[in-house]
Amino acid sequence: MMKLFITGASGFIGSHLTNLAKKKGYEIIALNRSYISSQNHDKNIKWLNKDLLDINMYDLEEVDILFNLASAGVSPKEASIQELTKTNILGSIKLMEESIKANVKRCIFTGSCHEYGLSSDRYKMIPSNAPLIPTNNYARSKVASFYMLEALCKNYQTEFIYPRIFSAYGLGQNEMNFWPSLRNAALNNLDFKMTKGTQIRDFIPVEEVAEHLINCCSRKDVIKGTPLVFNIGSGSPISIIDFAKKEWKRLKAKGQLLNGVIPERENEPNSFVPDLNNLYEKKI
């Protein structure tokens, strides 16, 4: 069975990926900057307590697949430009360079739908090759990182996959995000205040995101020196208010959805829906 190295393994999406990889029998080395190895005695997970920038080629010996889900500034958390640069740009570049030295077969770095930014106004469904026009510093740091990783992939003829994840939701997500806040109100019989929610989004359960990511390990349509870039989404766009109503009903909430109470965010795109071309493996 292949050996995986996973950064951001204790984060929202990373924890689901790590649990799924464990169930499938992969050997796992998981990076975490906080000391948690003593809390986890699973023989299939080895916790490496290091900073992202301190990882070296020896940490990646005999690793087959590298997953990088470590990222600073993911909403609703804010990060300084210095922190964004250190983690999202310099950390990612260092990780790719060390993986190349260690002859890691395949590198999978997760991206964000927010990298597309203003391109959302140009497309009904955003293709993975759409112009990257980010509107915030988090997304700008991810774009800068992507271009550097793309260059390393081409220069060293390595296998590189870069999936951009759209509106993932589920257990373990920061409680300040939309779905956890909605769920908390529903389970506690509270009213839920929100915007009008007319914007169209592609909500995808985090468990499905993890499945798409783990499938990257065995894809045979990856070409050395050519980044495989695609979007991860459900393929079922829905307005935010309709999604809220659907979840409100599923959770058997007794409170009321108070849509239109909170003002809309400025510069919020009306439609943010992915084109899912290349989400599934193509025969070559």
Question: What's CA 152's distance to the chain center, in Å?
Answer: 21
Residue 218 lies in a domain: yes
Tokens of 182: 């909605």
Residue 229 lies in a domain: yes
* pLDDT tier, 42 (very low <50, low <70, confident <90, very high otherwise): low
CA atoms 211, 65, 93, 37: torsion sign = positive
How many domains does the chain divide into? 1
Residue 263 lies in a domain: no
Q: How far is CA 68 from CA 11, 37, 43, in A?
A: 11, 19, 22
Residue 221 lies in a domain: yes
Backbone angles phi, psi at 69, to 5 degrees: -115, 5
Q: Are 257 and 192 in contact (CB under 8 A)?
A: yes
Q: Are 42 and 102 in contact (CB under 8 A)?
A: no
User: Mean per-residue pLDDT for 191-218?
Assistant: 97
**DSSP string spanning 94-131?**
HHHHHHHHTT-SEEEE-EEGGGTBGGGGT-SSB-TTS-
- pLDDT tens digits for 218-245? 999 999 999 999 999 999 999 999 999 9
Residue 67 lies in a domain: yes
Residue 13 lies in a domain: yes
Of 110, 30, 104, 14, the closest CA to residue 66 belongs to 104
CATH of the domain at 213: 3.40.50.720
pLDDT at 38: 43
Residue 30 lies in a domain: yes
Question: What is the C-alpha separation between 123 and 217, in angstroms, rounded?
Answer: 30
Of 273, 7, 282, 283, the closest CA to residue 125 belongs to 273
pLDDT at 282: 81
- pLDDT tens digits for 114-169? 999 999 989 999 999 999 999 999 999 999 999 999 999 999 999 999 999 999 99
| Percent of residues, the chain, with pLDDT higher than 70 | 96
Residue 28 has pLDDT above 50, yes or no: yes
- pLDDT tens digits for 49-84? 899 999 999 999 999 999 999 999 998 899 999 999
Residue 215 lies in a domain: yes
Residue 264 has pLDDT above 70, yes or no: yes
Average model confidence (pLDDT) across the chain: 94
Q: Which domain holds residue 22?
A: 3-170+204-234
